[in-house]
Amino acid sequence: MIAVALDESTEEVRGYTEGITYPVLIDRDRVITELYAISNVPTVVWIEADGTIARPNAAEPGTDMFVDFTGVSATPHMDAVRAWVHTGVIPDDGATSVEDLNPAEVQARLAFRLALHHRRADNPVRAEHWFDKAVKLAPLDFTIRRAAMPLRGDDPFGASFFELWEEWQSAGRPFHGVARG
Amino acid sequence: MAILQVLVDSGVYEIDGMINDDVVSVSPAALQESIGWELKPEGLCRGDMCVPVTDTGGIVHGDRLDLVAAARLTGSETLIDHDASVIAISVPSPMRRQTLVGRQAANFTLPDLDGELHSLAEFAGRRRLLVAFATW
């Protein structure tokens, strides 16, 4: 298992990794959201020993902490992962093809990157300009809109999040990967 | 000439250049330093890989090259912050298609929480579960 945090602060990530023995990497520039078309977290990818993808992007929680809210339990996925690791068996949805990022979603990632750059250079006004552009380009992408919330002084577990959640539900829960529910 | 900052997957590069609307003129050396591609007789090349350049007029302006046109030719998108002289360049789309269509997991190199770099490829030879998560 390789965990990659799509976060800005190493110290914040460290708060969640106590006792974890597998590698935890930090992707401050969100490179893997481009390479794998990741649009929400947690997203898991099953990768064979030779680098072939056995099962592409899927939203799978690590725990049942939010099961009442999301309706997705961690147990079936963890059982399926164990079966795959031991016997190589891949579920039918492993064959799902992941839709490529559209041009606006690529531009949103670039705008987000510019925002991070200005935020790191202590230029909050320029940062806000680009965060706003990024969110307008990809309003239902959680790695853009929700990820920007704490960086723009907004609460990622507050009203703005529930607003996004409602919009995302109404839009048919778009996700780059294995569809859920 | 001014100092431009170029944001790519491997980091931030400061190079000499000039931005005019959607053209970013840089020296051949600055192009290679920032996006890793070099203009050769066979095309734009990085390592063993070369992309043929059919219309050099789109990329070559005198002794300068257009970073935006070169990036586009290699499958990257760009976004220019004109006020701050910063250019963000996406990863080449063929790398993402290799993952999504070719179903070959794209390699990446990222630091762990102590700053030590690791690659996905480092863990090859056994089944791997890649988990993208976040604190938000």
Please judge whether B127 and A84 are an interchain contact, meaning their C-beta atoms are less than 8 angstroms apart.
yes
Strand partners, B129: A46
Q: Provide the shortest C-alpha distance from residue B116 to chain A (in Å).
A: 9
State mean pLDDT over A93-116.
97
What is the C-alpha to C-alpha distance for residues A143 and A41, in angstroms, rounded to an integer?
7
pLDDT at position A18 is: 87
Which ipTM did the prediction report? 0.95
pLDDT at position A62 is: 79
Please judge whether B97 and A156 are an interchain contact, meaning their C-beta atoms are less than 8 angstroms apart.
no
pLDDT at position A145 is: 98
Please judge whether A56 and B103 are an interchain contact, meaning their C-beta atoms are less than 8 angstroms apart.
yes
Query: Residue B86 pLDDT more than 80?
Result: yes
Q: Is the peptide bond before A76 cis (omega within 30 degrees of 0)?
A: no
Query: Residue B128 pLDDT more than 60?
Result: yes
Please judge whether A6 and B125 are an interchain contact, meaning their C-beta atoms are less than 8 angstroms apart.
no
Please state the pTM of the whole predicted model.
Answer: 0.95
Query: Residue A181 pLDDT more than 60?
Result: no
pLDDT at position A67 is: 79
Q: Provide the shortest C-alpha distance from residue A169 to chain B (in Å).
A: 19
Residue-wise pLDDT for B47-70, tens only, equals 888 999 887 778 998 899 999 999
Query: Residue A166 pLDDT more than 70?
Result: yes
* Four-CA torsion B98, B102, B104, B110, nearest 10 degrees: 20
Domain ranges, ordered by start, for chain A: 3-95, 103-170
Which residues in chain A have their CB less than 8 angstroms from residue B104's CB? 51-53
Q: Provide the shortest C-alpha distance from residue B68 to chain A (in Å).
A: 14
Please judge whether B88 and A26 are an interchain contact, meaning their C-beta atoms are less than 8 angstroms apart.
no
Domains of chain B: 2-94 (3.10.20)
Q: What are phi and psi of B97, to 5 degrees?
A: -65, -30
pLDDT at position B31 is: 95
pLDDT at position B57 is: 74
Q: Which of A16, A29, A34, A146 should be substituted to probe chain B, the one whose Cβ sees the most B Cβ atoms within 10 Å?
A: A34
Please judge whether A81 and B129 are an interchain contact, meaning their C-beta atoms are less than 8 angstroms apart.
yes
Residue-wise pLDDT for A45-67, tens only, equals 999 999 999 999 999 987 777 77
Cβ pair B61, A1 in contact under 8 A:
no
Q: Provide the shortest C-alpha distance from residue A58 to chain B (in Å).
A: 10
Please judge whether A110 and B88 are an interchain contact, meaning their C-beta atoms are less than 8 angstroms apart.
yes
Please judge whether B113 and A12 are an interchain contact, meaning their C-beta atoms are less than 8 angstroms apart.
no
Nearest to A147 by CA among A138, A156, A139: A156
Nearest to A28 by CA among B5, B135, B105, B82: B135
pLDDT at position A50 is: 97
Q: By CA distance, what is B13's nearest residue in A?
A: A117
- Place A19 in a pLDDT band, splitting at 50, 70 and 90: confident
Q: Provide the shortest C-alpha distance from residue B127 to chain A (in Å).
A: 5
Query: Residue A69 pLDDT more than 60?
Result: yes
